[in-house]
């Protein structure tokens, strides 16, 4: 994300905990086995106190007029050849597309949206058709110390919704495949419908850390509670997500670039958020159409993460933030392919 220190710190601690568990003969893989209760307390603690130097990203004016959003043909895919770390090189493409209110209405696809499927081999696929596979998804980062369950697999989707914990505060929920699946290069795609409301901060991203490196690729970060055009009031006055950010970090504190992608209301239907990760280039897609491309070289294998956190540019959740399953981050699938 554009500011990410709290997120990275959470995983830094996790890495340390994982290493500690391994050293003690425990395992970080498999139904939470070997996860010390103290680990999540530490995570929770650091998650609160870290990132004090962060500043919320400032929404930039749209790159073009809103009239461009009425026709897909008028969309101008953004790209930049710059690998500069300066935000001024960010692109602000506008995107429009039809919205799929039900994942079942989407055509089957063997390949990434908008790509030549013959160029790809499917390497990871979870459609959430048979419950949550805990051999695939880690939940212990946030499960261990949260008594309230705010997720479920229903109707073929993993749903994560805003909820208050026993202390009355909204809490973060994270799913990742660390230790189960990671990949270098290829294509990663999620089809999902986003939650709405002040403070909600849904994300789909990739992360790895080894030998002191911490590369991160954020395929989707949305802040519906943020200033326009991040969010805009819906019919009921609750802010809905109208823009998202793909962001590339070569390493901690080394941002390769980011874009701000204006979209239709992402809480109104399912959309596909994709990344084509080549050795020297990353290209991001919204419903199969390119929205951002930049030169960047990350060669570490990274694992996917889907989460619903709170704060950052979306602000603090409050009494206006809809809770419950009806306002879920609904993930129809997560897939990955490798280049043939
Ligand atoms: Ca599904």
In this predicted model, what pLDDT tens digit does every residue of 120-140 receive, in sequence order?
Answer: 999 999 999 999 999 999 987
Q: How far lies 183's CA from each of 90, 94, 101, 186, 339, in Å?
A: 26, 30, 31, 8, 11
How far is it, in rounded angstroms, from Cα 68 to Cα 63? 10
Gap from CA of 152 to ligand 1 centroid (Å): 13
Give the pLDDT confidence score for residue 93 in this predicted structure. Answer: 53
How far is it, in rounded angstroms, from Cα 130 to Cα 133? 8
Give the pLDDT confidence score for residue 320 in this predicted structure. Answer: 98
Helix 37-49 vs helix 5-23: angle between axes, to the nearest 10 degrees?
160
Gap from CA of 332 to ligand 1 centroid (Å): 4
Gap from CA of 179 to ligand 1 centroid (Å): 23
Q: Which residues in the chain land under pLDDT 50?
A: 4-91, 104-107
Gap from CA of 153 to ligand 1 centroid (Å): 9
Please state which CATH number belongs to domain 77-339: 2.60.120.200
With CA atoms as reference, report the closest residue to 237 among 219, 221, 255, 224. 224
How far is it, in rounded angstroms, from Cα 71 to Cα 164? 40
Gap from CA of 274 to ligand 1 centroid (Å): 16
How far is it, in rounded angstroms, from Cα 20 to Cα 299? 25
Give the pLDDT confidence score for residue 96 in this predicted structure. Answer: 52
Contact 261, 69 (CB under 8 A): no
How far is it, in rounded angstroms, from Cα 314 to Cα 224? 6
Gap from CA of 336 to ligand 1 centroid (Å): 15
How far is it, in rounded angstroms, from Cα 163 to Cα 149? 8
How far is it, in rounded angstroms, from Cα 198 to Cα 95? 23
Omega cis (within 30) before 229: yes
Gap from CA of 228 to ligand 1 centroid (Å): 31
Residue 149, Ramachandran bin (φ over 0: left; ψ between -120 and 50: alpha; else beta): beta
Give the pLDDT confidence score for residue 72 in this predicted structure. Answer: 32
Gap from CA of 295 to ligand 1 centroid (Å): 32
The residue whose two tokens read 């230790």 is 179
Q: Where are the domains of the chain?
A: 77-339
Give the pLDDT confidence score for residue 143 in this predicted structure. Answer: 75
Helix (H, G, I), strand (E, B) or coil at 43: helix
Which residues, in sequence order, are bridge partners of residue 258?
A: 247
Gap from CA of 19 to ligand 1 centroid (Å): 33
Gap from CA of 129 to ligand 1 centroid (Å): 6
Gap from CA of 205 to ligand 1 centroid (Å): 19
Gap from CA of 264 to ligand 1 centroid (Å): 22
Angle at 133 between CA 299 and CA 135, to 5 degrees: 60
């Amino acid at each position: 994300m554009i500011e990410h220190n709290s997120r990275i710190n959470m995983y830094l601690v996790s890495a340390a905990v994982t290493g500690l568990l391994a050293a003690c003969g425990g395992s970080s893989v498999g139904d939470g086995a070997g996860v010390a209760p103290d680990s999540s307390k530490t995570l929770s603690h650091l998650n609160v106190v870290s990132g004090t130097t962060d500043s919320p990203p400032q929404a930039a004016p749209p790159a073009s007029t809103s009239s461009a959003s009425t026709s897909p043909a008028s969309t101008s895919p953004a790209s930049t050849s710059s690998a500069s770390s300066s935000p001024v090189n960010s692109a602000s493409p506008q995107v429009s597309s039809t919205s799929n209110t039900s994942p079942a209405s989407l055509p089957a696809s063997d390949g990434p949206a908008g790509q030549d499927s013959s160029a790809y081999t499917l390497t990871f696929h979870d459609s959430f058709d048979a419950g949550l596979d805990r051999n695939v998804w880690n939940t212990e980062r946030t499960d261990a110390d949260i008594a309230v369950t705010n997720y479920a697999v229903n109707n073929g989707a993993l749903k994560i919704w805003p909820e208050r914990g026993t202390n009355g505060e909204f809490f973060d929920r994270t799913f990742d495949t660390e230790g189960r699946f990671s990949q270098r290069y290829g294509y990663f795609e999620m089809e999902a419908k986003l939650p709405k409301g002040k403070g909600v901060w849904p994300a789909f991203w990739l992360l790895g850390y080894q030998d002191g490196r911490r590369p991160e690729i954020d395929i989707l970060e949305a802040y519906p509670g943020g200033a326009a055009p991040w969010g805009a009031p819906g019919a009921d006055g609750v802010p809905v997500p109208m823009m998202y950010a793909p962001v590339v970090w070569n390493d901690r504190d080394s941002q390769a670039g980011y874009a701000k992608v204006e979209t239709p209301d992402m809480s109104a239907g399912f959309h596909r958020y994709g990344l084509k990760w080549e050795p020297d280039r990353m290209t991001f897609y919204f419903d199969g159409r390119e929205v951002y491309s930049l030169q960047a070289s990350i060669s570490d294998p990274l694992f996917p993460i889907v989460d619903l956190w709170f704060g950052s540019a979306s602000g603090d959740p409050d009494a206006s933030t809809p809770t419950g399953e009806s306002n879920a981050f609904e993930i129809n699938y997560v897939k990955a392919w490798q280049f043939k």
